Amino acid sequence: MIVLRPDNIKGLLPLVITPHGHGRNHQAYAGVYLDSADREHVLGGERDIALQSIREGYITIAPTARAFGDTRTENDIKEGKSFSCRIQLMQDLLVGRTPIGDRVWDLTKILDWAIDNLPVDTSRIAITGNSAGGTSTLFAAAIDTRYKVVVPSSYFSTVEGSIGVIAHCDCNYIPGFLDWGNISDVGGLIAPRPISVIHGVKDEIYPIEATRTAFKKLQKIYEMAGALQHARLYEGREGHRYYKAGAWDFVSKYFQQNQ
């Protein structure tokens, strides 16, 4: 992981964890670029999420997801593949686990470490990531109430409208998921904590209509929890990317309320 700390820290500060998605550069969120084309791609899609966070004045951790970076298989590293999600899934299934479960477990341990070793205000902790980082964001916050503000980007959808009918990476799949609920139900576990769902209207792998359907279901859960005003859908004008306008004003609003 890469840890970014504001200069001249005085007292406790908010913490934001930014799990990344797929792509050839797992450190892009923190401003580590492979080349000029990669830099253009990252900045063009506002994917420098950890840098955005540190500019807001927050301690920020940009973790490397399991099956990326140095945790890829030796063969995938040798062949220059960006991730090893399929072999991760196959090995996980053999022992009754999933890649999403692995990554959420890792995030809980990173948060444990951060609270123990950094000047973190535990009343102001947020998590946000794009695509597979949005997946990790949603599932991590669903089980860990230490995340006080949650901003999943380019993931929130329905199984029937996206990963069930459109080709996605193997790491998205959870055996028996539909026996328990749907993506909106995972989001419902976050209630009544604030959630800002970010999504592009031209997203081709998580179609916006499925996102809108899922969000309506999420709103019903939040309404039952007496927290309808804390659930927001921000729609960006383009496709599968991050939209910082849907994140930082929302995070700042609730961080201020928790001071």
CATH number of the CATH domain containing 235:
3.40.50.1820
Question: Is the pLDDT assigned to residue 176 strictly greater than 90?
Answer: yes
- Output the average pLDDT for the chain: 96
Q: What is the pLDDT of residues 47-85, one digit of tens each?
A: 999 999 999 999 999 999 999 999 999 999 999 999 999
pLDDT (0 to 100) of residue 8: 83
pLDDT (0 to 100) of residue 24: 87
Q: How many domains does the chain have?
A: 1
pLDDT (0 to 100) of residue 223: 98
Q: What is the pLDDT of residues 12-35, one digit of tens each?
A: 999 999 999 998 899 999 999 999
Task: Give the residue numbers spanning the domain of 252.
Answer: 2-257
pLDDT above 90 coverage of the chain, percent: 97
- DSSP for 30-84, please give it: GT--SSHHHHHHHHHTT--HHHHHHHTT-EEEEPPPTTBGGGS-HHHHHHT-SB-
* Residue whose entry in the numeric block shows the structure tokens 């040798």: 78
Cα separation, 153 vs 137, whole angstroms: 9
Decide: pTM greater than 0.85: yes
Q: What is the pLDDT of residues 112-160, one digit of tens each?
A: 999 999 999 999 999 999 999 999 999 999 999 999 999 999 999 999 9
pLDDT (0 to 100) of residue 9: 82
Cα separation, 168 vs 224, whole angstroms: 32
Indicate the burial class of 27 (C-beta count within 10 angstroms; 0-12, 13-18, 19 or more). Answer: middle
